[in-house]
């Protein structure tokens, strides 16, 4: 684990001091300082604080399983988020979480028993529904896994249910805990991919693309399913050559039959993120592209740029294998039609398409 990602100070709510999560942190981070507080309200200050170096461990009171915050008028994939923690210290310049959370501190939820019983109850009450569940929306799924061992809890848990799959989405190489787990074929390990230039310039402490692919190969060896996400794709001079290289890197190493899906999404952001990026990073060119405000208020590249990028990516991927499931994240039916030649509604809707892809690769 990159030493810059290792937390130094842990703030723990008193009610979860005996939790499995805190025990794991103590065991794996012997040098860290643990501070116990009655209740964490965000006001606790630590000397020489550096956000990424502080973890807050709390007794979470909210709903653990939530629908992905899709946007009206765009086609949503019907994903569900297992909300196990918040924030990320990898430091991608474009990361939307910078605007999403007011605090830069990592926050982990320690009441795992309630988390699992909530999920179990939903899965059991809806045996005829299929749940695609991910943990990588409000943080990176494996960022702190060497410390928390969260994967050891959830991977075997999801192996027990036939009406769900778990997707762990990451830009790290923190896969060691996955090696010997009983996953039952129901966990997909996914890497966010980008062009080599974008990864090197904007993706902070993320591991290089080659390392992500090496990890994907190992996960395949251990029987996991894999997926890739090109999101956000950044438009710049020379993007075609670079993104093509990233597609080649995947298919030169991974057999297409083993890939559950590949998603594509062009860079988009709520306007407040622009100021944050400008202030935080000197090389902020990524926010000065040709953007237009979408119906959801997010800034997006002009349609023709998005269509061109998607069309080419789909073409390059399908040249390797036309059967690979490729989908767009939060795009309009018009863009779908232009990029793929069809609107997902003509094929039963995007959730149905992805359910089918998951079932065919992970078992029904």
How many angstroms separate the CA atoms of 352 and 347, rounded? 8
What minimum distance in Å lies between the beta carbon of 261 and ligand SF4? 18
The single residue among 29, 55, 95, 246 that binds ligand SF4, judged by CB under 6 A, is 95
Query: Which listed range, 36-44, 84-92, 215-223, 248-256, lies at the site for ligand SF4 (CB under 6 A)?
Result: 84-92
Q: Which residues are CB-contacts of 113 (< 8 A; sequence separation ≥ 6)?
A: none
The phi, psi pair for 151, rounded to 5°, reads -60, -30
CB atoms within 10 A of CB 2: 13
The single residue among 10, 12, 81, 88 that binds ligand SF4, judged by CB under 6 A, is 88
What minimum distance in Å lies between the beta carbon of 90 and ligand SF4? 4
Question: Does the footprint of ligand SF4 cover residue 77 (CB under 6 A)?
Answer: no
Q: Which residues are CB-contacts of 117 (< 8 A; sequence separation ≥ 6)?
A: none
H or E stretch covering 228:
strand 225-233
How many Cα atoms occupy the beta-carbon half-sphere of 6 within 13 Å?
12
What minimum distance in Å lies between the beta carbon of 139 and ligand SF4? 6
The single residue among 70, 78, 91, 196 that binds ligand SF4, judged by CB under 6 A, is 91
Query: Which listed range, 49-57, 89-97, 154-162, 276-284, lies at the site for ligand SF4 (CB under 6 A)?
Result: 89-97
The single residue among 56, 86, 140, 331 that binds ligand SF4, judged by CB under 6 A, is 140
- Burial pattern 234-262, b for ≥16 Cβ within 10 A else e, equals bbeeebeebbeebbebbbeebeeeebbbb
Query: Which listed range, 37-45, 92-100, 271-279, 295-303, lies at the site for ligand SF4 (CB under 6 A)?
Result: 92-100
Residue 13 burial by CB count (10 A; 0-12/13-18/19+): exposed, middle or buried?
Answer: buried
The single residue among 90, 213, 260, 339 that binds ligand SF4, judged by CB under 6 A, is 90
Question: Does the footprint of ligand SF4 cover residue 144 (CB under 6 A)?
Answer: no
DSSP letter string, 278-317: HHH-S--GGGSS-EEE-TTS-EEE-HHHHHHHHHHHHHHH
CB atoms within 10 A of CB 319: 10
The single residue among 53, 105, 107, 171 that binds ligand SF4, judged by CB under 6 A, is 171
Query: Which listed range, 31-39, 86-94, 213-221, 254-262, lies at the site for ligand SF4 (CB under 6 A)?
Result: 86-94
How many angstroms separate the CA atoms of 147 and 233, rounded? 30
Question: Does the footprint of ligand SF4 cover residue 97 (CB under 6 A)?
Answer: yes
- Burial pattern 67-76, b for ≥16 Cβ within 10 A else e, equals ebeeeeebbb
Of the candidates 290, 308, 307, which has an alpha carbon nearest to the alpha carbon of residue 299? 290
Q: Which residues are CB-contacts of 55 (< 8 A; sequence separation ≥ 6)?
A: 7, 9, 10, 11, 25, 105, 106, 107, 108, 144
Query: Which listed range, 7-15, 87-95, 214-222, 294-302, lies at the site for ligand SF4 (CB under 6 A)?
Result: 87-95
Tell me, by CB under 6 A, how many residues bind ligand SF4.
10
What minimum distance in Å lies between the beta carbon of 147 and ligand SF4? 16
Q: How many helices and strands in the chain, by DSSP H and E?
A: 12, 16
Binding track over 198-227 against ligand SF4, x by CB under 6 A:
--------x---------------------
Cβ proximity to ligand SF4: between 91 and 289 the closer is 91
What minimum distance in Å lies between the beta carbon of 171 and ligand SF4? 4
What minimum distance in Å lies between the beta carbon of 320 and ligand SF4? 26
How many angstroms separate the CA atoms of 199 and 192, rounded? 10
Cβ proximity to ligand SF4: between 190 and 206 the closer is 206
What minimum distance in Å lies between the beta carbon of 141 and ligand SF4? 9
Residues forming contacts to ligand SF4 in the complex (CB under 6 A) are: 88, 90-92, 95, 97, 139-140, 171, 206
């Amino acid at each position: 684990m990159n030493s810059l990602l290792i937390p130094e100070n842990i703030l723990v709510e008193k009610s979860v001091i005996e939790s499995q999560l805190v025990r794991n942190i103590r065991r794996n981070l012997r040098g860290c300082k643990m501070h116990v507080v009655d209740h964490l309200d965000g006001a606790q200050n630590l000397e020489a604080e550096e956000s990424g170096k502080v973890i807050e461990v709390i007794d979470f009171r909210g709903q653990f399983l939530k629908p992905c915050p899709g946007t009206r008028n765009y086609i949503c994939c019907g994903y569900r988020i297992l909300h196990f923690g918040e924030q990320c210290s990898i430091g991608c310049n474009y990361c939307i979480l910078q605007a999403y959370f007011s605090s830069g501190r990592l926050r982990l939820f320690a009441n795992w028993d309630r988390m699992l019983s909530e999920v179990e109850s939903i899965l059991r009450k809806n045996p005829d529904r299929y749940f695609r569940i991910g943990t990588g929306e409000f943080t990176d799924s494996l960022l702190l896994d060497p410390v928390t061992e969260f994967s050891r809890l959830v991977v075997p848990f999801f192996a027990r249910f036939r009406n769900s799959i778990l997707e762990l989405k990451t830009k790290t190489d923190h896969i060691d805990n996955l090696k010997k787990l009983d996953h039952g074929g129901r966990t997909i390990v996914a890497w966010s991919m980008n062009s080599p230039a974008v990864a090197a310039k904007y993706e902070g402490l993320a591991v290089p693309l080659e390392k992500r692919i090496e990890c994907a190969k190992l996960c395949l060896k251990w029987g996991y399913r894999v997926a890739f996400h090109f999101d956000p794709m950044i438009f710049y001079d020379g993007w075609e050559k670079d993104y093509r290289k990233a597609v080649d890197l995947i298919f030169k190493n991974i057999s297409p039959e083993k890939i559950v899906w590949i998603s594509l999404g062009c860079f988009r952001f709520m306007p407040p993120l622009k100021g944050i990026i400008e202030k935080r990073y000197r090389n902020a060119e990524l926010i000065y592209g040709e953007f237009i405000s979408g119906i959801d208020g997010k800034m997006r590249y002009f349609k023709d740029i998005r269509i061109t990028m998607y069309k080419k990516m789909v073409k390059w991927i399908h040249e390797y294998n036309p059967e690979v499931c490729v989908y767009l994240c939060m795009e309009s039916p018009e863009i779908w039609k232009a990029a793929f030649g069809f609107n997902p509604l003509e094929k039963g809707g995007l959730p149905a398409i992805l359910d089918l892809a998951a079932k065919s690769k992970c078992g029904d």
